[in-house]
Structure 1
Amino acid sequence: MVKYIFIFVLIVSVCTCTLWARDTTALKILAGSPEGTGLVLPTGFTADIVADDLGNARHIATAPNGVFFVKLEKLKNGKGIFRFEDKDKDGKYETVSGFGSYAGTGIAIKNQWLYASSDDQVFRYRLNEKFEVLDPDNPNLVITGLVNKHQHSSKSIALDNAGNIYVNIGAPSNACQLADRTKGSPGQDPCPILETAGGIWRFKADKGNQSYKEGTRYATGLRNVVGLDWNTENEALFVMQHGRDQLAQLHGEKYTAGQGAELPAEEMFMVKEGANCGWPYCYYDPVQKKKVLGPEYGGDGQKEDRCSGMQMPVIAFPAHMAPNALLFYTGDLFPSRYKNGAFIAFHGSWNRAPLKQEGYFVAFVPFSKGQPSGDWEIFANGFAGVSEVKSPRDAKHRPCGLAQGADGALYVTDDAKGTVFRINFHK
């Protein structure tokens, strides 16, 4: 079983803080705002708060002139998108406007267009040279009619450089059982959910009123992807999968409580068209370093069977930590080791008992030539604000969205309180 150590610092100490980490340089809390953010960052980095009390702030998009947009999962004052501008360039975003009467998660900027998603549609807004929305009340409807059920309903998006938009359509299920999350219920085989969910669909970014028939099921076998990004080094889509739950609770005869807490891994995939990552039939075991057959389909925790041909992750993370954003850093502000590497926002676990709940941080994976080149490490910690999270309700902040600012700063959203953090580096 993979062993790891958390050393968590909240207020005044300097510490070394890594999980499965390669870089063990000293980390310390730095107060980037007058009250202090409480974040633990590598030496030389500072953090401040640029927005607060937004509510359920999900993903974030930044413009070349410093403007940024935040998508909300629940409406605030009747609006689902907020635009922030620092007109006098003093570091404070004093100009704030809201628009969009729908909630959701996905948001992105590409070629003077702002793209945003609800839980079943994707819209786009024309932007002027100041990145102001020209007609906020009348967006273009790009995609409609996507599966929208309560479980895994968010539609995260990413765009490539060839005019395509990629949309996650999460599976409204844990493991495609006949009766979801029910002990003794078998898995459906084949899983009918995969026809319209449980994968990534590709559409044209500039075409209106598209639905499933106009799109392409680009990758399948993905239970739920909230974080995805296009890697410009190798022109490929990378995604972060939320792994399945409740192996021990539903199959106690095959898994101990400890195994249920540690399995399966959260996975990062590089996906090409036609990729099959295995859900619901298979999951990735980071101890055995292989895909194994799920117990709903006759698996015993070791058997590979049909899973031997499924796509493997490029890197794996501990279970149940909920990776909610992925960002490839292309800026020049941070030290060179961060260039082209991946930042991941982990929303935090709710089901790692009897072990401690974990996550609630931003991790970093170094990359070289479009592939991971080292182990992952914690980059920014302390969001939860407590030494031990018993449940997600205990966490003061839960990282959800990531964006790179025009100056190279890293923006992190939190959907517990609606805070937007900005992380800078000082040479």
Structure 2
Amino acid sequence: MRVFAFCFFLIGLVSCNPGDHKLDVIKPDADNGGLILPDGFSALVVADTLGHARHIQVNRKGDIYISLNRPKKEGGIVCLRDTTNDGRADLIQYFGKHHGTGIALNDDYLYFGADTLVVRYPMIYSQLLPHDAEEIIVQGLPHNSQHAAKPLIFDQTGNLYVTVGAPSNACMEQSRTKGSPGMDPCPLLERHGGIWRFKADQLNQDQVLDGERYATGIRHAVAIDWNTTENSLFAVQHGRDQLSQLFPDLYDAKQNAELPAEEFLLVEEDSDFGWPYCYYDPMQQGKVLAPEYGGDGHMLGRCEDKDDPIMAFPAHLAPNDLLFYTGDMFPERYKNGAFIAFHGSWNRAPEVQEGYFVAFVPFEGKLPSGDWEVFADGFAGIDEVSSPRDAAYRPCGLAQGPDGSLFVTDDVQGRVWRIMYE
């Protein structure tokens, strides 16, 4: 006898599982977990107070894996499962001895990017926790005093890409010191300020001996994703800070708040986006020479031949994750578009701090097809943020669920939201 399973959208998202002929209703929170969303979208809080939640992965069964920036309950990964089919995690377990930001599922392994190495753990069918038999994939990554996160992503041919951020604002001889010139050439670029490529399944690779510097001139790209439709790597980088504090004769406080842009990058092999010598000025719509290297706010110099971004965002929004949406739940205009989690600024004073939202960028092929827009807001919990400490939540990680839901993490209180479309 043929069994037909019918799925309806009632109060919230309804999913059906023909395998057990059970109808499960996932109801959003009455206030959407505090989020402000476009018409037709709703949200619920999957879990809360998990720890300093960074990037997130969701497997085919809906189990959730989140990296922690600081260990909690002696674990650097928190694993979540919904056993009651209400959309909320009721089984929460901590795992792993490392902490960090990078996390990804690939070929039945859970990969984790700690600050100085990449490890992986075999996944066990039907079990929430991975096997604790840890394998080192990449070692010898530099330990940075700042920009230490090692986000990671895979392409479709067995390669692993790891961000190695620069432990610097602009490679100055005296770090963040008024008027100090930049080191020229910048020695940090040998092992920092770019994205390195490794083999996904080769053990004990070393950054210097085995890694390939895939792209350079990127100050820090916490937000990276491989666009499977276009078979290309994309990133959104954190731009430099403190132009007016370090060079007050060239920049005022207003310019400091608006410069430089946060850059959305199409990252190809041997790309050079110009850090620390250059930054992107959205008003002039191009790269200009940094003041540490003789720039005056208008001079191009060596920046003429550096790679430009495909889109520029306002300064200091702190992009922390990037996701190209491939699901079928959201309306068609979102298909193959990019979601970006902006963690929020600190360097816009005396202007109001900005960010603390998830943005959406429509795409056609490898390029944006329209302006960016705020998709999910309300994370900060207040209308105006004077300091990051004022924000109740700060979005950090993004993931797509097997049904097309969008998951968002917060690294202040450790909350996870699930955004759905009715």
Asked whether the two chains share a fold, i.e. TM above 0.5, the reply is: yes
Residue ranges of structure 1 left out of the alignment (5+ in a row): 1-30
Within 2, Cα distance between the matches of 1:100 and 1:370?
A: 36
**Deviations along 1:225-249, whole A, 9 cap, x unmatched?**
1010001121110011100000111
Indicate whether 1:287 and 2:254 are aligned.
no
Indicate whether 1:54 and 2:50 are aligned.
yes
Letter in 2 for 1:147: P
Say which of 318, 324, 329 aligns to 1:328. Answer: 324
Secondary structure in 1 aligned to 2:101?
coil
Letter in 1 for 2:302: R
Say which of 365, 371, 385 aligns to 1:389. Answer: 385
**Deviations along 1:324-379, whole A, 9 cap, x unmatched?**
00000000000000000000000000111121100000000001123211000000
Say which of 277, 300, 304 aligns to 2:300. Answer: 304
Within 2, Cα distance between the matches of 1:114 and 1:318?
A: 34
Say which of 127, 135, 138 aligns to 1:140. Answer: 135
**Deviations along 1:226-285, whole A, 9 cap, x unmatched?**
010001121110011100000111111011110011000000101111110000000000
Say which of 146, 152, 167 aligns to 1:151. Answer: 146
Q: Which residue of 1 aligns with 2:401?
A: 405
Letter in 2 for 1:255: Y
Say which of 415, 420, 425 aligns to 2:421. Answer: 425
Letter in 1 for 2:198: F
Q: Which residue of 1 aligns with 2:261?
A: 265
Alpha-carbon contact 1:128-1:134 (below 8 Å) kept:
yes
Letter in 2 for 1:374: G
Q: Which residue of 2 aligns with 1:27?
A: none
Letter in 2 for 1:171: A
Alpha-carbon contact 2:171-2:186 (below 8 Å) kept:
yes
Letter in 1 for 2:182: G
Letter in 1 for 2:92: V
- Give 1:85 deviation, angstroms: 1.1
Q: Which residue of 1 aligns with 2:66?
A: 70
Within 1, Cα distance between the matches of 2:349 and 2:220?
A: 22
Alpha-carbon contact 2:32-2:42 (below 8 Å) kept:
no
Say which of 187, 196, 208 aligns to 1:192. Answer: 187
Q: Which residue of 1 aligns with 2:124?
A: 128
TM-score (norm 1): 0.91
Task: Report the count of equivalent residues.
Answer: 395
Secondary structure in 2 aligned to 1:268?
strand
Q: Which residue of 2 aligns with 1:164?
A: 159
- Give 1:35 deviation, angstroms: 6.4
Alpha-carbon contact 1:364-1:379 (below 8 Å) kept:
yes
Identical residues among aligned pairs (%): 56
**Deviations along 1:113-163, whole A, 9 cap, x unmatched?**
111111011011111333644422x21110011011221000001111110
**Deviations along 1:174-229, whole A, 9 cap, x unmatched?**
00001111002110000000000000000001011111210100000000010100
Q: Which residue of 1 aligns with 2:6?
A: none
Alpha-carbon contact 1:233-1:370 (below 8 Å) kept:
no
Within 1, Cα distance between the matches of 2:179 and 2:290?
A: 13
Letter in 2 for 1:248: S
Within 2, Cα distance between the matches of 1:134 and 1:325?
A: 24
Within 2, Cα distance between the matches of 1:88 and 1:223?
A: 44
Within 1, Cα distance between the matches of 2:130 and 2:398?
A: 25
Within 1, Cα distance between the matches of 2:88 and 2:270?
A: 45
Within 2, Cα distance between the matches of 1:121 and 1:274?
A: 23
Letter in 1 for 2:337: G
**Deviations along 1:277-300, whole A, 9 cap, x unmatched?**
000000000000010000000000
Q: Which residue of 1 aligns with 2:313?
A: 317
Q: Which residue of 1 aligns with 2:203?
A: 208
Flag the structure with larger Rg: 2
Q: Which residue of 1 aligns with 2:224?
A: 228
Within 2, Cα distance between the matches of 1:272 and 1:167?
A: 14
Indicate whether 1:369 and 2:391 are aligned.
no
Secondary structure in 1 aligned to 2:222?
strand
Secondary structure in 1 aligned to 2:205?
coil
Within 2, Cα distance between the matches of 1:413 and 1:131?
A: 23
Letter in 2 for 1:39: L
Within 1, Cα distance between the matches of 2:127 and 2:344?
A: 33
Say which of 376, 388, 401 aligns to 1:380. Answer: 376
Within 1, Cα distance between the matches of 2:286 and 2:86?
A: 51
Within 1, Cα distance between the matches of 2:84 and 2:379?
A: 29
